[in-house]
Amino acid sequence: MRLVRDEPIRSIGMADAKVTELLDQLDAQEPQGGRAVNGKRRNDRFPFRHFCTRLSVLHPGGGRGDFLIPTRDISETGISILHGGYLHLGTDCTLELPALWSANINVDGAIVRCDHVMGVIHQIAVMFYNKIDPTHFVDNPLNETVAVTIGPIDAPNVAGSLLYVDDLACEARLLEYHLRTTSLKLVHAPTIAFASEAIQSQSFDIIVCDMNLTGIDGEGAIRSLRMSGFKGPIIALCGEWTRHKLTAAREAGALAVLPKPYDPTKLVTNIADLLQAAGCAENGAPIFSQFEQDDETRALVRAFIAEANELASQLRESINGQDVETARRLCVTLKEAGGGYGFHALFDAGCAATIALDASCSVTESRQDLRRVAEICGRLKIRG
């Protein structure tokens, strides 16, 4: 009888400290990559040690095995891992690799080498089917000096409201300087308590949070921001670049983790990508109707915009008054009418706010979604 496991099993029954010793021994014997083939390599390999990386193997005889395995090093074309057993050459597999700037990334490949190390442990080389960018997984892999951008970043279309949580005012001034050519509006929160109050009283599209705050650890800070009701993207800035810190930040609710000191260009790129993914790109930019085609439909749209703004004012009043029933009714009305008049952003925001209210029965917990609906109403425009 075969046991079916819902969770991947740990491939090597060794403590992380023992795995580290083994990897150190392998590096001392043959630096970065196992068998001595460095002279033939065309791709640089970089240290990439993670102890519980998910490996899914499609066995040649059928069936799939899911394991948690240690990784050793990585290149743009492949990766070296340890596994508690032999794997046939040519076996298809998928690795869920921890990325620096985002969630884990699935990479497909095939087993191209399997060398016995000790006991049941084998060192395995996986060749990726498609090249990857090592900088997504290894910070500054070539150990080059990182030149911090001090000139203006040309990103005027990166817009929205940003809450920056850091107990140092000088850090907030520096970030504001780097963002000066964007259209981002920055609010500085020197404490988590201040940030929580700001979330309750204002609408933010994204939060950037330092992981080294006074009186609270980074992951605790991120959890607190989530408990305050913020549902948008959070970027964590981490000066301690360790596996534990990266994992803890993501598990707490950060969608991206960047090293500190940060590269301003990379930070703005991540902000732009996360805002776009969250549907907040170009916040403040006008939203036009897909229904508007001519003078007749333009007149209809103009009249709807006026009514939508009146309903948005009522929605703000219901938020201030903690009136769940009225807030839900207004969101449903704006969702239905907005969709009918070709404002898809308003339809999507209304759906999200209605779902949030139904799930929580609380204006406080749904505040971000409700304010998003009202904010979108203020951006509805006609083309003519």
Tell me the HSE value of 331 on the side-chain side, using a 13 A CA sphere: 30
Choose among 105, 144, 169, 139: nearest CA to 260: 139
Instruction: Find the helix packing angle between 324-340 and 295-320, rounded to 10°.
Output: 170
pLDDT at residue 124, rounded to an integer: 93
- Alpha-carbon gap, residue 255 to 234, rounded angstroms: 6
Low-confidence residues of the chain: pLDDT under 70: 1-7, 31-43, 60-61, 100-103, 139-157, 241-244, 276-285, 384
pLDDT at residue 342, rounded to an integer: 87
pLDDT digits (tens, 9 = 90+) for 220-257: 999 999 888 888 889 999 887 666 677 778 778 888 78
236 and 272 both lie in a single domain = yes
273 and 308 both lie in a single domain = no
329 and 360 both lie in a single domain = yes
Residue 145 included in any domain: no
260 and 343 both lie in a single domain = no
pLDDT at residue 155, rounded to an integer: 63
Among residues 136, 169, 185, the one where a domain terminates is: 136
pLDDT at residue 168, rounded to an integer: 93
Domain that holds residue 195: 159-277
Residue 66 included in any domain: yes
Cα dihedral 19, 118, 79, 52, rounded to 10, equals -40
- Alpha-carbon gap, residue 222 to 210, rounded angstroms: 9
Q: Residue 203 is encoded by which pair of tokens?
A: 């609408």
Burial class (CB in 10 A: 0-12, 13-18, 19+), 147: exposed
255 and 307 both lie in a single domain = no
Residue 153 included in any domain: no
pLDDT at residue 159, rounded to an integer: 81
24 and 86 both lie in a single domain = yes
Residue 172 included in any domain: yes
Domain count of the chain?
3
Among residues 277, 305, 323, the one where a domain terminates is: 277
Cβ within 8 Å of residue 260, ≥6 positions away:
210, 211, 237, 238, 239
345 and 322 both lie in a single domain = yes
pLDDT at residue 37, rounded to an integer: 41
pLDDT at residue 302, rounded to an integer: 93
Residue 33 included in any domain: yes
pLDDT at residue 39, rounded to an integer: 41
Is the distance from CB of 211 to CB of 239 less than 8 angstroms?
yes
pLDDT at residue 139, rounded to an integer: 64
Residue 148 included in any domain: no
243 and 201 both lie in a single domain = yes
Residue 149 included in any domain: no
Distances in Å between the Cα of 224 and the Cα atoms of 234, 249, 258 are 12, 12, 20
124 and 175 both lie in a single domain = no
Q: How is residue 357 annotated by DSSP?
A: H
196 and 250 both lie in a single domain = yes
Q: What is the CATH number of the domain that holds 17?
A: 2.40.10
18 and 129 both lie in a single domain = yes
- Alpha-carbon gap, residue 141 to 41, rounded angstroms: 17
The whole-model pTM stands at 0.49
DSSP labels, 264-284? HHHHHHHHHHHHHHTT-TTTT
Q: What is the CATH number of the domain that holds 220?
A: 3.40.50.2300
Is residue 261 reached through a cis peptide bond, with omega within 30 degrees of 0 on the bond before it? yes
